[in-house]
C-alpha cells in the first residue's frame, strides 16, 4: 500500500474538492456518459488527455497506445472506436501525437527492441509512404518532428479507412476527424488541419465499402450466430449495472 498511498490521498482530496464545488457531481456522472470527443493518443505519461485539452470527467472518451496508432488489426482500438461512434455518438475524433515521441524515434532507428518491433513497423510504413519528403529533411531534430506529424496524418487516414467511420459518415450527424500534435516543451496543441472527409473522397475508389445484405437463406443462420453489439450505454439501460460492476 505504501507505493500508492499518495494516489489514495490525492483521490480523497479530489473527491472533497469536487463535492465542495458541486454536491451532485458524482451523482450526475453515475447516470451515464455523453462525451463529445474521442481522444486517440500516445501512452506517454507526459501527455494526459484531460490535462492538455482542459476537459473533465464525462467529456472525453480515451484510447491510448504506443505512438497513437490506428492499426486495423487492433481489436482494442476498433472496439473503442465502434463504441464511441455508434453508442456514445462522439462528434469529434482526435488523433493526438506529440513531439519527442519515443515510439516514433524507435521506428526511425535501425535497432531492434523486441516485441514492440512488430508494432513499430506500422510507423516504418509511414516513413516508406513519405520517404521522399522525409529524406529531404537534413536536420535530425526537424526530421523527427515531421515524422511525428506525418504519423498523425496517416493515423487519421487509417481511421477513414475503417467501415466504422465510413458507415458513420453516411449518417445524419457524422463525426469530424482531427489530427493534432502536442509540444511537450511548451504545452501547446498544434492543429495539423487534416480534412478527414477529403481524405475519404481521395481514397474511396480503393477503400470505400458498403454493408451487404444477407441472402434470405442466410438470414436465419445470421440471426442465430451473429451479435451486433450494444446500441446504448449499458450503464443507462441496465438497472443497477454500475452498482454490480463495482462489486
Ordered by where they begin, the domains of the chain are: 34-212 (3.40.1050.10)
Q: Does residue 172 or residue 220 have the better pLDDT?
A: 172
Average pLDDT of the residues in 51-62: 96
As a whole-number percent, the residues of the chain with pLDDT over 70 amount to 87
Q: Is 146 a catalytic residue?
A: no
Predicted TM-score of the model (pTM): 0.84
**Predicted local confidence at residue 241, as pLDDT:** 55
**Predicted local confidence at residue 223, as pLDDT:** 64
Catalytic choice (44, 63, 157, 178): 44
Catalytic choice (63, 101, 145, 178): 101
Residue of 93, 203, 200 whose CA lies nearest to 152: 93
Contact 41, 64 (CB under 8 A): yes
**Predicted local confidence at residue 177, as pLDDT:** 97
**Predicted local confidence at residue 229, as pLDDT:** 66
Residue of 197, 198, 189 whose CA lies nearest to 96: 189
Helix (H) or strand (E) holding 141: helix 140-161
Catalytic choice (63, 98, 145, 157): 98
**Predicted local confidence at residue 202, as pLDDT:** 85
pLDDT digits (tens, 9 = 90+) for 81-135: 999 999 999 999 999 999 999 999 999 998 999 999 999 999 999 999 999 999 9
Mean pLDDT of the chain: 91
Catalytic choice (18, 22, 46, 128): 46
22: helix, coil or strand? coil
In whole angstroms, give the CA distance from residue 17 to residue 217: 60
pLDDT digits (tens, 9 = 90+) for 192-232: 999 878 888 888 888 988 877 767 666 656 666 665 666 77
Average pLDDT of the residues in 161-171: 94
Q: Is 201 a catalytic residue?
A: no
**Predicted local confidence at residue 115, as pLDDT:** 95
Q: Is 42 a catalytic residue?
A: yes
Q: Is 22 a catalytic residue?
A: no
In whole angstroms, give the CA distance from residue 56 to residue 164: 26
Least confident of 24-28, 95-99, 166-170, 201-205: 201-205
**Predicted local confidence at residue 242, as pLDDT:** 56
Q: Is 46 a catalytic residue?
A: yes
Amino acid at each position: 500500500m505504501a507505493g500508492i498511498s499518495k494516489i489514495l490521498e490525492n483521490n480523497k482530496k479530489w473527491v472533497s474538492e469536487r463535492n465542495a464545488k458541486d454536491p451532485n457531481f458524482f451523482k450526475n456522472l453515475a447516470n451515464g456518459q455523453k462525451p463529445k470527443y474521442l481522444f486517440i493518443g500516445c501512452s506517454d505519461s507526459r501527455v494526459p488527455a484531460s490535462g492538455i485539452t482542459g476537459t473533465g470527467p464525462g467529456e472525453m472518451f480515451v484510447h491510448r497506445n504506443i505512438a497513437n496508432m490506428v492499426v486495423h488489426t487492433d481489436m482494442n482500438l476498433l472496439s473503442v472506436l465502434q463504441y464511441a461512434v455508434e453508442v456514445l455518438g462522439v462528434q469529434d475524433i482526435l488523433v493526438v501525437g506529440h513531439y519527442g515521441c519515443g515510439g516514433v524515434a524507435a521506428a526511425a532507428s535501425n535497432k531492434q527492441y523486441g516485441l514492440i518491433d512488430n508494432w513499430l513497423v506500422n510507423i516504418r510504413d509511414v516513413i516508406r509512404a513519405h520517404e521522399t519528403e522525409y529524406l529531404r529533411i537534413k536536420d535530425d531534430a526537424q526530421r523527427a518532428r515531421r515524422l511525428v506529424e506525418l504519423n498523425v496524418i496517416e493515423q487519421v487516414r487509417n481511421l477513414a479507412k475503417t467501415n466504422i467511420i465510413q458507415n458513420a459518415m453516411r449518417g445524419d450527424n457524422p463525426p469530424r476527424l482531427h489530427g493534432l500534435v502536442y509540444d511537450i516543451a511548451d504545452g501547446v496543441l498544434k492543429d495539423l488541419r487534416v480534412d478527414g472527409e477529403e481524405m475519404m473522397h481521395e481514397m474511396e475508389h480503393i477503400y470505400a465499402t458498403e454493408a451487404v445484405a444477407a441472402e434470405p437463406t442466410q438470414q436465419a443462420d445470421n440471426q442465430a450466430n451473429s451479435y451486433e453489439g450494444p446500441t446504448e450505454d449499458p450503464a443507462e439501460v441496465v438497472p443497477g449495472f454500475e452498482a454490480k460492476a463495482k462489486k
